[in-house]
Amino acid sequence: MVSSRSIAVIKRRLQILLVVCLLVGITLRCTNAAHKVYWHDEVYTTIRVLGHSGKALEKQVTQAPIISASELQELQQFPQPRRWSDTWSALVSHPEHPPLFYLLERLWVGVLSPSITSFRALAIVFGLALLPLTYWLCQQLWQDHWAGLIATCLMALSPVQLLYAQEAREYSLWACLILVANGFLIRAMRSSGRYSSSAIVVRSSLATVVRPWGFYGLSVALMLYTTLLSILVIVAHSLYVLISGSRQHWQRFAIALGGAFLAFIPWLLVILSNRAKLESATEWTSFRQPLGQLIKLWGLHLSSTVIDLGLPLEHSYTYWVPPIVLALLLMALWQLLLVTPPPTMAFCIMTLMVPALGLILPDLINGGQLSISTRYFMPSLLMVTLILAGWLRQLMLSDRGLYRFWGQGILVLLLVMGLVSNTLSAASFTWWNKNINYHGNVMGEVIRQTTKPLVIAELGSTGLGSMISLSYAVTPETDFVLFKPGQLPDIPAGYSDYFVPYATGELLDAIASKTGRSPVLAGGDYPLWRLE
């Protein structure tokens, strides 16, 4: 009797907690959308969506002796006339990024007009859609309302989901499609006649069987058109069906998957006809990273699902927080293994481990750094949240008072950590996901403090994107001298200060030799030099 009353109280608390977490999560996703650094990759999202050619823009800015920050930002507007064909041509020239998100973004900003806010707004929409989809997938996976509420609370305050909900890239859309594909696969596997929990054979009509497989195939096709990394999710699904399904399941899965790949053939032809560009664009993934560095990053990928304080890689946080989160996840998996049907656990383990190992093992075997990117681990990070939710549901609604106490305590702790992390992130001008442009705002602040600055920059592989990113952090009147590698022009006189961002030692030596000025770090550990 006491146990029943306690569980009823916990359920009421969960309902209230859901409302609070949803309100906070929605507010945080919509706060300061244009606040953080608009970094290189987002700049190139804009360039391709608007129908510009990166090479043509580089030629344009290097031919001008001097170009202002406001003129650089004009490159983030529609060319005249606006043509969808220009957008398609820009996307085809980058086959490593399938076109779905970019085409949706083109439609979106065509209505709202291009700006940092409008480009990030579409990602925010998908970040918000992730919350009801989380509840829906939990209904399919755990077949439990309360696990769905817990998972939605955790997802609303998941730091990594907030970051990608405010970035003008395809990863919030990918997260939504992963949940949709997962849910329809589970539903399809259960639709074709199997035993229910009450040991009664459930037989479904043909339409009930075919529909989820059709929706599954469609969701897989959309995933593939969002990112090529969706193949890791498909491999995980294939192993799950192979382990848990019957011959009938295998056949229907093969048909659905065949339909998805058939729909993907147009972009596959684009990839094959632009193979050299694909290899060039992904060459960076083959660069070696020290194993110790990779292990630290893998841990931080995992812990970012529940806590992310944005601390430096070498901070002691890196050494103790990720192992604690890993221990919590392993405990959840072990406890669920004891009470969860084998097919459900097979799905959890496959969708958690296979995408992660698909990134980690190639780097371990061949060397490389594909696994340094948190966003590529999105399928596994989503499953971490769902697994923790299933475990916490078991604890919080247990007949044992101690389990209920620990379940509530762990949930509150995870939500508080997420709230603190998200508050810090939302208030910050930058975060680790800004990558090479992490220091953009600090560099801009240094430049803004001078009377009449000139920025001198070499346009290497990431130069144009970084300079357009920096243009948002300086005053519109700030002048830039941009040039191709190895073609340092004459430096104009008449400026109060000269700055060189993101420079190599070779470039600094060439500038010093040509100008007679000594380059010195402008301050801190950010890549900005001042000529003295």
Query: pLDDT at residue 196 above 70?
Result: no
pLDDT for 246 equals 87
Query: pLDDT at residue 528 above 80?
Result: yes
Beta carbons of 398 and 407 less than 8 angstroms apart: yes
pLDDT tens string 26-35:
999 998 888 8
Buried b / exposed e over 138-157, threshold 16 CB at 10 Å, is bbbbbebebbbbbbbbbbbb
Query: pLDDT at residue 197 above 60?
Result: no
pLDDT for 192 equals 63
Query: pLDDT at residue 46 above 90?
Result: yes
Confidence class of residue 267 from pLDDT cuts 50, 70 and 90? very high
Give me 497's structure tokens: 């200060």
Buried b / exposed e over 84-110, threshold 16 CB at 10 Å, is eebbbebbbebbebbbbbbbbbbebbb
Three-state SS at 344: helix
pLDDT for 283 equals 87
| Model pTM score | 0.94
Query: pLDDT at residue 22 above 50?
Result: yes
Higher pLDDT, 210 or 166: 166
The vertex-51 CA angle with 93 and 122, nearest 5°, equals 105
How many Cβ atoms from other residues are within 10 Å of residue 283's Cβ?
A: 10
- Residue 306 falls in which region: left (phi positive, over 0), alpha (psi -120 to 50) or beta: alpha
| Whole-angstrom distance, CA of residue 484 vs CA of residue 61 | 10
Point out the least confidently predicted range of 32-36, 376-380, 431-435: 32-36
Beta carbons of 69 and 480 less than 8 angstroms apart: yes
The DSSP code for 305 is T
pLDDT for 162 equals 96
| Whole-angstrom distance, CA of residue 411 vs CA of residue 404 | 11
Beta-bridged to residue 531, according to DSSP, are 519
| Whole-angstrom distance, CA of residue 473 vs CA of residue 441 | 5
Beta carbons of 136 and 3 less than 8 angstroms apart: no
Looking at every residue in the chain, the average pLDDT score rounds to 92
How many Cβ atoms from other residues are within 10 Å of residue 469's Cβ?
A: 25
Return all residues near 69 (Cβ < 8 A) that are at least 6 apart.
Answer: 470, 471, 472, 474, 475, 476, 477, 478, 479, 480
pLDDT for 205 equals 61
pLDDT tens string 276-291:
888 888 888 888 899 9
Query: pLDDT at residue 193 above 80?
Result: no
pLDDT for 194 equals 46
pLDDT tens string 329-376:
999 999 999 999 999 999 999 999 999 999 999 999 988 899 999 999
Three-state SS at 184: helix
pLDDT tens string 148-163:
999 999 999 999 999 9
Query: pLDDT at residue 207 above 80?
Result: no
Give me 295's structure tokens: 């292990």
**Residue corresponding to tokens 């190992």:** 357
Can you point out the beta strands (E) in 176-335?
194-195, 201-202
Beta carbons of 328 and 299 less than 8 angstroms apart: no
Q: Amino acid identity, residue 294?
A: L
Query: pLDDT at residue 214 above 80?
Result: yes
